[in-house]
Chains A and B, each alone.
Chain A
């Protein structure tokens, strides 16, 4: 028994946690109190609450909200229909397959599709609407992001729909509930966990992706992620970058906490 109580594996694993989980976060917090010249200051936090940064934060949240909402609106029916197909695991695999393809390549494809002479503008011309500037607009940013995130939303919703006991749906229908009422009062509440997991998997990255904004939105859309990248790799103002990162970490923890609450009720 004595041998079993000694957990040899704990030492290397805890070391890993300390070095690559705890230390980076602690150092980011530490860095956020220094300015470009390496002097201790609270200035970064003061700067974060100026209108420039607040506006950026707000618009970043707004875009992330839109992206999450549209992903959910498209993914939920798709996930529901997937559970009704014959070879559902295969179809699910097929819809997840694009997530394995490098994100940058998918974004790059949209440079061609949304370009001035690209496929979309060709179709618009053919329809008689005429070519539009699509690339480097908010629309292209939201569209491409939704495209990227749909599988991440479909998967948890699909899983929770699979766990749903179908007899509950039949019972609701037998008792005279309309399809809409059944969905609203029975199906949706029971798959809320999947929806929450999906929203969490979309919202946090949507706040912080910088390559999509850089490639298809030009510099029109600035998210928290773009700002962090800008401060770290372009202006070299690590202090300010860290401050935004600290804010993002706090937001992330809050969202995880909100999404994790469901278990308390169970």
Chain B
């Protein structure tokens, strides 16, 4: 191809895009070691900001809260999501199936502000006190459809003869589910759990609406600190979060690579695009 001759120039564009994508993250990291106390004028190397983060008990409790919410909502929404995917899978009428899928996708395409505001109305009207429980419920609610979208394609890949064979051999409904279906869709379940986890860890807007006064997650805390201006302990914190994220993503990447999943499909953009496509099928 003659395109190879022009390679360096087009490469430059891609490199520029990559540079811009990563610049803010490295900028934050770089200044987290600045003894000057501002995000300009590097004075000298220090680990003080990291010490400050680890000495801040309030912050550590918030980190713990965030992790507990993420794990709990991840687990519960995975269970509910599997149930949802099985429900949609077993619906025979095409129209009903599509209706269910559309309802499923509402929470994925809805902007966070809408989800947050409408959940705030819901919780105050049915009398759930704002705090840990309301945040957990809303995280489960917006993670379920993602899990469904991750599990459903796996179910559709599964040959129905597998189930028929299991039933012919005398397996009960429960045995078919645990012995045949669940092992087959495990990669989808895993991807769904991972996505639910990252959505929960990343969410700000919905949590911000339903969190009330006493309870806070990391995103909400970062927001309220960032609104007060620059403090390099946020930089230190973000470096730690960045490292944690990379660890999580690479771990996930290597685990799923074995099952041959496409890298892009299990990402936020992938879910969005999937919701748009699923709508019509």
A12-69 contacts to B (CB < 8 Å): 12-14, 16-17, 19-25, 27-28, 31
**Interface code B225-238, partner A: CB below 8 Å = 1, 0 otherwise?**
01101100010001
CA A98 – CA B269 in complex, angstroms? 12
| B196 contacts A by Cβ under 8 Å | no
Q: Are B39 and A9 in contact (CB under 8 A)?
A: no
A-B contacts, 6 listed (Cβ < 8 Å): A3-B173, A20-B119, A207-B111, A211-B223, A214-B227, A215-B227
Contact A232:B87 (CB < 8 A) given known A100-B202, A106-B24: no
Q: Are A108 and B226 in contact (CB under 8 A)?
A: yes
| B68 contacts A by Cβ under 8 Å | no
Residues of A with C-beta under 8 A to B94:
none
Residue of A with least CB distance to B39: A112
B residues lining the A interface (CB < 8 Å)? 3, 10-11, 13-14, 17-18, 20-25, 27-28, 31, 38-41, 80, 83-84, 86-88, 90-91, 100, 103-104, 106-107, 109-115, 117-122, 125, 141, 144, 173, 198, 201-202, 204-205, 208-209, 218-219, 222-223, 226-227, 229-230, 234, 238, 241-242, 245-246, 248-249, 253, 262-264, 267-270, 272-273, 276-277, 279-281
Given contacts A81-B10, A105-B242, A118-B40, 19 further A-B contacts (CB under 8 A): A7-B91, A10-B87, A14-B87, A16-B84, A20-B141, A95-B17, A102-B222, A105-B222, A105-B241, A106-B24, A108-B238, A151-B269, A158-B264, A197-B272, A211-B204, A232-B117, A242-B121, A252-B114, A256-B279
A residues lining the B interface (CB < 8 Å)? 3-4, 7, 9-10, 12-14, 16-17, 19-25, 27-28, 31, 74, 77-78, 81-82, 84-85, 89-113, 115, 117-119, 122, 147, 150-156, 158-159, 194, 196-198, 200-201, 204-205, 207-211, 214-215, 224-225, 228-229, 232-233, 238, 241-242, 245, 248-249, 252, 256, 259-260, 262-263
Q: Are A252 and B205 in contact (CB under 8 A)?
A: no
CA A147 – CA B209 in complex, angstroms? 25
Task: Pick the residue among A21, A28, A233 that contacts B103 (CB under 8 A).
Answer: A21
Residues of A with C-beta under 8 A to B24:
106, 109-110, 113, 147
Residues of A with C-beta under 8 A to B121:
24, 27-28, 31, 238, 242
Residues of A with C-beta under 8 A to B230:
111-112, 115
